[in-house]
Amino acid sequence: MPLAPRKRDTVVPEPPRASALPASGRPADELLARLRDLRAADAPTRGGRTFAYVYDPGLPEVDELAAAAYGAFATVNGLDPTVFPSVARLENDVVGAVNAVLGAPGAQGTFTSGGTESILLAVKAARDHARAVRGVTRPQLVLPSTAHAAFHKAAHYLGLETVVVPVDPVTFRAVASEVAGAITDRTALVVVSAPSYAHGVQDPVEQVASAADERGVLCHVDACIGGWFLPFLARAGRPVEPFGLSVRGVTSLSVDLHKYGYADKGASVVLYRDAELRRHQYFAHAGWPGYPVVNPTVQGTKSGGLLAQAWAVLHHLGEDGYTALAERVARAADALLPGLRATDGVRVLGEPAGSLVAFTVTGPAADRAAAPDADAGSPDLGLVLHVADEMRERGWYLQPQLSYDGLPPNLHLTLTPATADRVGELLVDLAESVAAARALEPVVVDPGLVELAAGLDPDALTPEEVAGFLAFAGLGGEGSGLPTRMAPVLALLDALPPRLKERLLAEFVGSLFRV
Ligand SMILES: *Cc1c(COP(=O)(O)O)cnc(C)c1O
């Protein structure tokens, strides 16, 4: 029943946007239809036009299998494998399969909810190991600047100090001697990526891991994205540099099954060289009156469904299935890379290890008002962002990545089997988008605003000041949603100091979750 209209001068609190629980329950088909409708505004997760976030094997039966396997285990609680022994059985199978590809004799691991959780756990294990074995009380985490943000999150959550080592500005790979030089007696863990998310290039794993080994320090390989792709690429006969636990000095490794394992979201594995190291990941607590707690992972109660669907997809695809899918992705890269390199105004960054490509856009626009003193042919942030918007209007999602510490802004593409048939179309639209971007007004960021921002203390901003800033950036206003063109917003963000950027992003995302 709609409420009677109130008098204008009455102060009425804003009603919450999300609707309250219905007084009487709605029928299932209505709700499922509503859920399907809500997807309409999302980027498509299947069909090969979304080049980030989703991993489409192009095999509908894999999706059906994952959903059915999840359903069969949805009500099982992975919290207690003594009550649900199936969970231990499935986890041993999944971790065993991963260990057989990426592990070494004696290695042990855990199934987790994703790359971030695998990384949190590896950092926690390293921190506690360093404390117990080496007496390190103020632990440091040594990481190349291209290491995934999840390591910074782990350091933040777990109280480690980060030591960030710049990468080579041409290859975007970690420089082994510099990473080794950053190791101190306080280093709990050294990180390398195989490959890095941002540029898709592989760090010199063997050199860094052996340098860590010589200092008696642990070394984690972040193979979240490459770990279930590169081994099968090698099996398909392509060159791949070793990066697993069999490499001397590698002591832990993370690999996401919800990426190139093609499982649904919520599936990853963290491996350790031995049980002694994995022990430091576990949390046990008997000092309360409830059931005795042993949590290998961050979560307590967890659905058996995620494990079951990952298990089913792994065993359905098998070695041959994954090899065929890796081959398809490699063929997509074979077509894409020369096409990109031949596109006027496009520059591929580094030598991609296989499935991830980052490119920047350079322009004749460099001599225009936006960047009067830039060299023609140098990366142009405004063009990069315009191209992303132009591509989005043509039905493609490419992921914008902002500039960082001298590394150029760029667009990131995650190749999956479903994208393989799309490369020709993509290249045509990209060439058009670059031309269209160059013809657009350059993206201009108000220098006065940037100067003002540089003088602000991000932590001391009031909610009103933050809201004002967001509104100015084009992100403000109740219910205004996202602008259709993101270039002006992202260009402003790019120009702001990191802490202010973080504060604004957090407030912005908070504004999306209104209740
Ligand atoms: C995806 C990814 C992560 C983080 O994993 P989530 O599953 O998103 O939590 C970490 N490292 C790399 C290299 C990744 O690609």
Nearest atom within ligand 1 for CA of residue 114: 7
Provide the pLDDT for residue 8. 40
Residue 26 lies in a domain: no
Q: What is the pLDDT of residue 410?
A: 97
- What residues does ligand 1 touch, defined as CB less than 6 Å away? 114-116, 148, 150, 193, 197, 222, 224-225, 256
Tell me the CA–centroid distance for residue 263 and ligand 1, in Å.
Answer: 14
327: in domain: no
pLDDT at 478: 56
CATH number, residue 200: 3.40.640.10
Q: Are residues 201 and 238 in the same domain?
A: yes
The count of domains in the chain is 2
DSSP 258-322: TSTT-PPSS-EEEEESSHHHHHTT-EEE--SSSSPEEESSS-SS-BHHHHHHHHHHHHHHHHHHH
Among protein residues, the one with the nearest Cα to ligand 1's atom 12 is 224
Which ligand 1 atom lies nearest to the CA of residue 256?
7
Q: Are residues 284 and 386 in the same domain?
A: no
Atom number of ligand 1 nearest to Cα 223: 13
125 and 254 in a single domain? The answer is yes
Q: Hey, what are 276's tokens?
A: 């002694």
Same domain assignment for residues 431 and 507: yes
- One domain for residues 142 and 269: yes
What's the rounded Cα separation, in Å, for the pair 310 and 463?
42
Is 244 inside any structural domain? yes
Please check whether residues 239 and 353 belong to one and the same domain.
no
User: CA nearest 397: which of 40, 48, 55, 38?
Assistant: 48
Q: Are residues 224 and 259 in the same domain?
A: yes
Are residues 91 and 225 part of one domain?
Answer: yes
CA distance 107 to 130: 19
Count of CB atoms situated within 10 Å of the CB of 336 = 24
3-state secondary structure of 339: helix
The residue among 321, 327, 324, 333 whose CA lies nearest residue 422 is 333
How many angstroms does the Cα of residue 148 sit away from the middle of ligand 1? 7
Distance 364 CA to ligand 1 centre (A): 35
pLDDT at position 17: 53
Q: String of b and e for 437-451 (b: at least 16 CB within 10 Å)?
A: bbebebbebeeeeee
Same domain, 291 and 378: no
Distance CA 383, CA 372 (A): 14
Ligand 1 center to 254 CA (angstroms): 9
Cα(122) to centroid(ligand 1), Å? 13
In a shared domain, residues 85 and 163? yes
Q: Is the dihedral of CA 200, 204, 206, 210 positive or negative?
A: negative
- What pLDDT does 376 receive? 54
Residue 320: inside a domain: no
- Name which of 309, 311, 297, 305 is nearest 76 in CA terms: 305
- Asked, for residue 257, whether it belongs to a domain, the answer is yes
Shared-domain flag, residues 277 and 382: no
Q: Which atom of ligand 1 is nearest to the CA of 149?
A: 10
Please report whether residue 128 resides in a domain.
yes
* pTM for this model (two decimals): 0.93
Domain that holds residue 210: 69-314
Question: What pLDDT sits at residue 511?
Answer: 82
Domain annotation covers residue 499: yes
- 298, 162: one domain: yes
Q: What pLDDT is stored for residue 479 in this prediction?
A: 55
> Whose Cα sits closest to atom 6 in ligand 1?
115
Q: Closest ligand 1 atom to the C-alpha of 195?
A: 13
**Regions of the chain with pLDDT less than 50:** 1-12, 15-16, 365-369, 372-374
- CATH number of the domain encompassing residue 486: 3.90.1150.10
> Measured in angstroms, how far is the CA atom of residue 225 from the centroid of ligand 1?
6
The preferred substitution site among 53, 54, 113, 116 for testing ligand 1, maximizing ligand atoms within 8 Å of CB, is 116
Question: From ligand 1's centre to the CA of 374, what distance in Å?
Answer: 34
Distance (Å) from CA 299 to ligand 1 centroid? 18
- Give pLDDT, residue 4: 39
Q: Is 23 contained in some domain?
A: no
